Amino acid sequence: MWTSLVFSIAVILSAVFYFRRIGVNFTISSLLLGLTLVLHGPLYLYYTRVWGPQTAFFEKILSAATDGEVVPALDLALALSFCCICVGMALADGVFGIRRLQMQDAISNWNLQTVRVSKGFSDRLEVIAAIGVLVLAFFIVVEHSIPHVVAYFQSDAGEFEKIAMRREFGGSRFYLLNLFNSNLFPFLAFCCFVALRERSIWLRPLAWAFIAVVLFEKAATLSKAPLAIFILQLMVIEYLRRSLQLRLGAALIFIAVCVMLFGAMTAIAVREVSGVGETLDFLFYRVFMIVNESLLEYFAAIPSVLPHSWGRQFSWLANILQSDSTPPTYLLVGAVHRGVMGSTTTAMFIADAWADFSWVGVLVLSLFAGFFVRWLDVELIVKRGKTAATISGLALGHYGVFIMLSTALQTAMVTGGLILVVPLTMAMSCAIKWRPSIQDPPGTDNLTRLKKA
**pLDDT of the residue at 122:** 86
Contacts 24+ apart (CB under 8 A), 261-265: 261/228, 261/231, 261/232, 262/224, 262/225, 262/228, 262/287, 265/224, 265/225, 265/227, 265/228
> What pLDDT is recorded for position 309?
86
Q: What is the DSSP letter of 116?
A: B
**pLDDT over 60 at 421, yes or no:** yes
Q: Is 203 strand, coil or helix?
A: coil
N-term to C-term CA, the chain: 50
* Among the listed residues 237, 229, 238, the one whose alpha carbon sits nearest the alpha carbon of residue 261: 229
Q: Which residues pair with 245 in a beta bridge?
A: 25
Residues 165-180 have a mean pLDDT of 90
Per-residue pLDDT for 19 more than 90? Answer: yes
Element (H, E) at 374: helix 349-377
The predicted structure's pLDDT at residue 61: 93
Q: What is the pLDDT of residues 283-336, one digit of tens each?
A: 999 999 999 999 999 999 999 999 998 877 654 454 444 455 577 888 899 989
| Distance in angstroms (rounded) separating the CA atoms of residues 124 and 432 | 12
Q: 431 pLDDT exceeds 70?
A: no
- Please tell me which residue, 122 or 74, carries the higher pLDDT value: 74
- Integer angstrom CA distances of residue 294 from 1, 132, 178, 202, 416: 22, 37, 25, 48, 20
Confidence at residue 95, expressed as pLDDT on a 0 to 100 scale: 95
pLDDT of residue 313: 65
Sign of CA dihedral 333, 335, 341, 347: negative
Alpha-carbon span 258 to 410, nearest angstrom = 27
pTM for the model stands at 0.90
